[in-house]
């Protein structure tokens, strides 16, 4: 695997945001990712938290808008953010809508025709961890957690549930919790995965949690804004909580009064999520 090329570096809270590009085998194109290295990374290996962003985002949004670096620096944890889809492949129709195609990979492996390069699941769970392990001696990739927002919250929950033990903990902001039952998910799944609903269920957290057999000692933290305009039609976290409780999977669903779907909401509670993961990663 060819190593990544650094394209940007900025110092923050004693650590560094560093952005990289490389040619991805999984995606069939050049892609970017960003790492926040906390100050502790200059002295020892540090654990990591993967951040999965939402629709239309890139690897940079969380680092510019959330303030995640402050608690990550305090806790000695690296944050890894990646892009949300392949880019530059010029697939017909890839940019026709904001909620599908470019910027909307849904963290799955597409099986349908022209979308075959939308292999975000393999990219996040296999290729990127291998690249990090091979190229960044500062990172302890064996100690990893995962969180995300909206489409990325969906990704964080599904990757956690589909890979028992791979992540020490999981959390989400306003996740698309039951995509098989909502417009965003139906649009993406039908195009990426076809009409077989069983294939959809393999990437639906509410379906996956019903049969989850992995560790149940660490609860899943979910924050949801009560004033989120997407809550009723697209997100449905109560479906996930109900299914998780029936399966004995601990979930802390916090409905935050007055908050919406934006990074104003995320930045308000991002420290809680880093501390949630720090407890699991440092135990």
What lies within 8 Å, CB to CB, of 152 at 6+ separation is: 51, 52, 53, 54, 57, 84, 107, 172, 175
Q: Please tell me which residue in 83, 204, 223, 228 is annotated as part of the active site.
A: 228
CA dihedral 40, 45, 46, 50 (to 10 degrees): 130
For residue 261, indicate whether it is catalytic. yes
Which pLDDT belongs to residue 91? Answer: 97
SS3 letters for 39-91? HHHHCCCEEEEEEECCCCCCCCHHHHHCCCHHHHHHHCCEEEEECCCCCCCCC
First to last CA, the chain: 32
For residue 74, indicate whether it is catalytic. no
Distance CA 220, CA 280 (A): 11
Q: Please tell me which residue in 66, 150, 171, 177 is annotated as part of the active site.
A: 150
Q: How many domains does the chain have?
A: 1
Distance CA 215, CA 212 (A): 9
156 in Cβ contact with 273 (< 8 Å): no
Continuous segment of H or E residues that includes residue 281: helix 263-281
Identify the three-state secondary structure at position 244.
helix
For residue range 31-45, list pLDDT tens digits in order. 999 999 999 999 999
Mean pLDDT of the chain: 97
Q: Which position has the token pair 């975000």?
A: 120
| Predicted structure pTM score | 0.98
Distances (CA, A) of 137 to 50, 133, 181: 17, 7, 42
Distance CA 160, CA 172 (A): 11
Q: What is the CATH number of the domain that holds 82?
A: 3.40.50.1820
For residue 277, indicate whether it is catalytic. no
Which pLDDT belongs to residue 2? Answer: 74
For residue range 157-210, list pLDDT tens digits in order. 999 999 999 999 999 999 999 999 999 999 999 999 999 999 999 999 999 999
Which pLDDT belongs to residue 147? Answer: 99
Q: Please tell me which residue in 149, 154, 261, 277 is annotated as part of the active site.
A: 261
Residue ranges making up the domain that contains 26: 5-282
For residue range 111-152, list pLDDT tens digits in order. 999 999 999 999 999 999 999 999 999 999 999 999 999 999
């Amino acid at each position: 695997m060819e190593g990544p090329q650094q394209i940007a570096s900025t110092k923050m809270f004693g650590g560094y945001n560093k952005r990289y590009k490389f040619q991805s085998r999984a995606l069939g194109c050049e892609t970017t990712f960003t790492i926040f290295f906390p100050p502790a990374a200059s002295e020892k290996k540090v654990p990591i938290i993967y951040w999965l962003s939402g629709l239309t985002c890139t690897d940079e949004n969380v680092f510019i808008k959330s303030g995640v670096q402050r608690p990550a620096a305090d806790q000695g944890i690296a944050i890894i953010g990646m892009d949300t889809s392949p880019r530059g492949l010029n697939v017909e129709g890839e940019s026709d809508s904001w909620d599908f195609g470019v910027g909307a990979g849904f963290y799955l492996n597409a099986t349908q025709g022209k979308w075959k390069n939308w292999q975000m699941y393999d990219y996040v769970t296999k290729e990127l961890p291998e690249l990090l392990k091979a190229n960044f001696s500062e990172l302890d990739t064996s100690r990893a957690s995962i969180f995300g927002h909206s489409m990325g919250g969906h990704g964080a929950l599904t990757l956690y549930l589909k890979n028992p033990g791979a992540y020490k903990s999981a959390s989400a902001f306003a996740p698309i919790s039951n995509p098989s039952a909502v417009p965003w998910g139906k649009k993406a799944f039908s195009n990426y995965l076809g009409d077989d609903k069983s294939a959809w269920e393999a990437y639906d957290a509410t379906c996956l949690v019903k049969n989850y057999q992995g560790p149940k000692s660490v609860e899943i933290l979910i924050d949801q804004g009560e004033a989120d305009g997407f809550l009723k039609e697209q997100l449905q976290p109560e479906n996930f909580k109900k299914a998780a409780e029936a399966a004995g999977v601990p979930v802390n669903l916090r409905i935050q009064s007055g908050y919406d779907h934006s990074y104003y909401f995320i930045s308000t509670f991002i420290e809680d999520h880093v501390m949630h993961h720090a407890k699991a990663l440092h135990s």
